[in-house]
Amino acid sequence: MRISVLDHSPVASGATAADALANTVALARHADRLGYHRFWLAEHHGLPSHAGPAPEIMIGRVAAETSGIRIGSGGILLTLYSPLKVAEVFRTLHALYPGRIDLGIGRSTGALPLEVRALGRDPDRPPTEAEFQSQLSELLGFLSDSLPADHPYEPIVVMPATPDAPPVWLLGSSPASAIMAARNGLPYSYAHFINPAATETALDAYRREFASAASGTTPRVLLGVGIYCAETESEAHRLYASHRALRGRMVRSRFAPVPDPDTALAELASAPDLLADDESPWPRCLVGTPDQIRALIIKMTAELSVDELIVMSIVHDHAARVRSYELLAEAMELTPRA
């Protein structure tokens, strides 16, 4: 089974955003050595807990610091950008690191209303499905030099010229995004850690619509889950507390860096009903020892018919986060790279 990493460049309390970005690069080097398949970088704007508004820049740095692992975006928020510019950026990355770049595309804005407005969109008028489809079609056409002859942008020469383009993944957390991925013949990355209640419905819709689209390609699913792995179950839950408390803060529109476990546990104890249980057979995050995590992954992926996971974790202590990925790699018997 392939296991990949989705990194949010978490900013720990008492640390800086520069520390978070340096930790991301260090984690990528480690993930490469451990045998993870991909390392994707998220895009967020205006969140003190997330230091990554520009995954395209981090992709270049991380790719230069690694050798075998695929590097990509998880994902570029296309509604905020020109499809041509995104195509140029990722063809450049693909030319520099051929065969190693993934372009993950997200439909959300990934920002608070004021940041959305500053980035050039009206937060009171989110893009319609048709508008996003138009942007996506342009992006795919620019990447593959295949815009229709009657398209106004067809004469544009997209540079750098490359014999092929990086693969495009559509990211989402709803059946609607799954259907859009299927109808465009794209591989699909579902964020189970965001919306676990709709996972089965979305994956079923993706496979059903993909089959009816008859695009000639094979449906591919990359399932995004949170995983917190430690030598003891209690320590794993302690690591996870920072993520849970951060979610609780966001529910209340309180935005701050990632809390340390002691602070997080105190906050969770003071508001035990804030985070309702997920109405899903599977929790948004898997928490436990290596043996427990391995058993959960095997059962979950079998039941959902998934053969690749992309794992996120938001941990206050960088060394503990690295150790969690080490234990996961050992548990899933990943093949280390030299």
Q: pLDDT per residue over 243-272, tens digit each?
A: 999 999 998 889 999 999 999 999 999 887
The pLDDT value recorded for residue 279 is 62
Q: Report the CATH number at residue 166.
A: 3.20.20.30
> For the chain, how many structural domains are there in total?
1
The pLDDT value recorded for residue 142 is 98
Is-contact 1 296, C-beta < 8 A?
A: no
Q: What range defines the domain where residue 160 resides?
A: 2-332
Judged by average pLDDT, the poorest of 31-45, 89-103, 105-119, 182-196 is 105-119
Tell me the torsion sign for CA atoms 122, 124, 126, 128.
Answer: negative
My answer on whether omega of the bond before 48 falls inside 30° of 0, hence cis, is no
Judged by average pLDDT, the poorest of 64-68, 216-220, 304-308 is 216-220
Instruction: Give percent above pLDDT 90 in the chain.
Output: 88
Q: Which tokens go with 260?
A: 């340390």
pLDDT band at 281 (very low <50, low <70, confident <90, very high): confident
Which carries the bigger pLDDT value, residue 117 or residue 275?
117
The pLDDT value recorded for residue 126 is 86
Average pLDDT over residues 3-16: 98
In three state form, how does the secondary structure of the chain look?
CEEEEEECCECECCCCHHHHHHHHHHHHHHHHHHCCCEEEECCCECCCCECCCCHHHHHHHHHHHCCCCEEEECCEEHHHCCHHHHHHHHHHHHHHCCCCEEEEEECCCCECHHHHHHCCCCCCCCCCHHHHHHHHHHHHHHHHCCCCCCCCCCCCCCCCCCCCCCCEEEEECCHHHHHHHHHCCCCEEEECCCCHHHHHHHHHHHHHHHHHHCCCCCCCEEEEEEEEECCCHHHHHHHHHHHHHHHHHHHCCCCCCECCHHHHHHHHHHCCCCCCCCCCCCCCEEEECHHHHHHHHHHHHHHHCCCEEEEECCCCCHHHHHHHHHHHHHHCCCCCCC
Q: Say if 19 falls within a structural domain.
A: yes
Q: Say if 338 falls within a structural domain.
A: no
Q: Say if 200 falls within a structural domain.
A: yes
Which carries the bigger pLDDT value, residue 216 or residue 170?
170
**How many Å apart are CA 215 and CA 218, to the nearest integer?**
8
For the segment 38-64, what is each residue's pLDDT rounded down to a tens digit?
Answer: 999 999 999 999 999 999 999 999 999
Beta bridge partners of residue 106, listed in sequence order: 77
For the segment 203-230, what is each residue's pLDDT rounded down to a tens digit?
Answer: 999 999 998 776 678 999 999 999 999 9
The pLDDT value recorded for residue 188 is 98
Q: Say if 223 falls within a structural domain.
A: yes
The pLDDT value recorded for residue 160 is 97
| pLDDT at residue 277 greater than cutoff 60 | no
**How many Å apart are CA 82 and CA 315, to the nearest integer?**
34
Q: Say if 337 falls within a structural domain.
A: no
The pLDDT value recorded for residue 200 is 97
Cα→Cα distances 117→125, 255, 293, 315, Å: 10, 19, 41, 30
Measure the CA angle with vertex 228, ends 223 and 229; round to 5°. Answer: 115
Judged by average pLDDT, the poorest of 65-69, 109-113, 176-180 is 109-113
The pLDDT value recorded for residue 216 is 74
**How many Å apart are CA 203 and CA 6, to the nearest integer?**
19
Q: Say if 82 falls within a structural domain.
A: yes
Q: Say if 274 falls within a structural domain.
A: yes
Query: In angstroms, how far is CA 259 from the centroid of its own chain?
Result: 22
Is-contact 4 36, C-beta < 8 A?
A: yes
| pLDDT at residue 111 greater than cutoff 90 | no
pTM exceeds 0.85, yes or no: yes
Residue whose entry in the numeric block shows the structure tokens 């935005």 = 255
Q: Say if 265 falls within a structural domain.
A: yes
The pLDDT value recorded for residue 215 is 65
Average pLDDT over residues 225-238: 98
